Structure 1
Amino acid sequence: MEHKTSLYSLRKTIGILGLALPLLLLAAHQDLISSMSHYYYTAGSVFFILILSAFGLNLINYKGYPKKEGELLSDRFVTTAAGICILITVLIPTKSENPLGQLFFTGSPYLFGHESNGFLGAIHLLSAALFFILLGYMSFFKFVLNHNASASRNRLFKRCGIIVWASVGALVAIFALEAILGINFDTIIPAYTFWIEWVAVYAFAVAWLVKGRIHLDVEKMMKTFSQEKSLEKH
């Protein structure tokens, strides 16, 4: 029972952090720029670094359930790998060039910031993509293994996984077109990367919150509120 309670808490923590991330980035910098990763160079960096680091540490600490016969990857392997990927994403940030809007730290070095279009930028993009792919895998393949879960919950988990993967696929396709055609899609859809990342983050956040049984907390809170209002009337 204690193990399950711990798992539920970790899942809810990951989900809540996911919901909060894009909102806090926008609130801190108050300007829309190319991607969430570019907020590393703004006043929103404190939230970018802390929340993604918390993602990584929570995922590495997430043990999940033991690997069952026939399973390709264990819960522990998937989440640990995802946690390492997102920590790499933080430690090796995206390049500081060509974002939309004004960067707070433009013109001076900031932590591990760089202007590289090559190796460092590739590591950042690859680690971020693997992070999303692994969490999509967790939602699509792992969260549906509970035989006591309803069919509707399992459909939600699978859809969340598909949305995460589709978001990664869309970004890869757009980046490839940009490279082939030599154009910047930000001029057509400003901050398209940020919006697609938001969709992916919210998809896996919803999956982790539902898996963490957030609805039971909401029901408990509503019940407590109703009881308190009833006592006030008497």
Structure 2
Amino acid sequence: METYFVLRMVIAAGALILPATLLLWVALDSGVSMMGSLSAFYYSPARSLFVGILVAIGVALVAYRGYTRGENALLNGAGVLSIVVALVPTGDSSLPGLTVAGAVHAVAAVGFFVLAALSIFFYGQETLGSLSDPDQQRRYRAVYRVLAVLVVAFPGAAVLVAWVVGPSVALFAGEAAALYAFAAFWLVKTYELSQSHAELRIV
């Protein structure tokens, strides 16, 4: 269905474009400094870009209909949390202590990656039964599981590095890598659906 194809492309494109455009903005605009995380760009002139792309991803995730109620619940949850991450700012590094908004933002960010990974790991394979080749099914299943692990492993490792060595761009890199893994899933899923024609089974 063309509508779901467009939604998948919005999700994938948003996840790919956000880190890259923020880096490009830093490179081209001397008034924008490199931040230690994606969320820290909320306090920069790139705020509108950061908020707009995350809201677009969130709306697309909520609008997308998966293949089971469980997948829908996880995608809806991830979509709502993406919007929360966009609209509820992370803590301002120039101010001491953790604010309520900062805590909400952090929980939402962690929740987004966790729900995204769970949706891929448990439900990414739901349409593979429509493929006639068992070897092809196994390859897709393996790819989806690896991507699911990467979606949580990259930011998790980045947080650990930041905790050990202090503030750095490691968190930005980990978040960006996780978004790229998330985007890769949606691109691979789109290709898989073009082969399996399983989109007619969307609930």
Q: What is the total number of aligned residue pairs between the two structures? A: 183
Residues 7 and 212, structure 1, Cα contact 8 Å, conserved in 2: no
More helix by share: 2
Residues 35 and 193, structure 1, Cα contact 8 Å, conserved in 2: yes
- Superposed CA deviations along residues 95-146 of structure 1, whole A, max 9, x for unmatched, are 2215xxxxxxxxxxxxxxx876132211101101100111111111111122
Partner of 1:7: 4
Structure 1 regions of 5+ residues with no counterpart?
A: 68-73, 99-113, 179-183, 217-234
The structural deviation recorded for 1:91 is 1.5
Aligned positions of 1:1-234 closer than 5 A = 2=1, 5-30=2-27, 31-67=33-69, 74-98=70-94, 117-146=98-127, 147-149=129-131, 150=136, 151-174=138-161, 177=163, 185-186=166-167, 190-213=168-191
Residues 8 and 211, structure 1, Cα contact 8 Å, conserved in 2: no
Residues 85 and 108, structure 2, Cα contact 8 Å, conserved in 1: yes
Change (3 A) 1:38 1:156: same
- Superposed CA deviations along residues 174-228 of structure 1, whole A, max 9, x for unmatched, are 46x45xxxxx523xxx311000101100001000111122996xxxxxxxxxxxx
What TM-score, normalized by structure 2, do the two folds share?
0.81
Q: Which residue identity lines up with residue 52 of structure 1 in the other structure?
A: L
Change (3 A) 1:80 1:215: closer
Give the distance between the partners of 2:90 and 2:169, measured in 1 at CA. 15
Give the distance between the partners of 1:92 and 1:160, measured in 2 at CA. 27
Residues 56 and 84, structure 1, Cα contact 8 Å, conserved in 2: yes
What TM-score, normalized by structure 1, do the two folds share?
0.71
Task: After the TM superposition, list the runs of 4 or more consecutive aligned residues in structure 1 that deviate by more than 6 angstroms.
Answer: none
Residues 58 and 80, structure 2, Cα contact 8 Å, conserved in 1: yes
Which piece of structure 1 moves more, 138-147 or 198-207?
Answer: 138-147
Residues 9 and 212, structure 1, Cα contact 8 Å, conserved in 2: no
Q: Which residue identity lines up with residue 117 of structure 1 in the other structure?
A: L
Q: Which residue identity lines up with residue 162 of structure 1 in the other structure?
A: V
Change (3 A) 1:8 1:33: same
Residues 161 and 170, structure 2, Cα contact 8 Å, conserved in 1: no
The CA RMSD measured in Å over matched residues stands at: 2.2
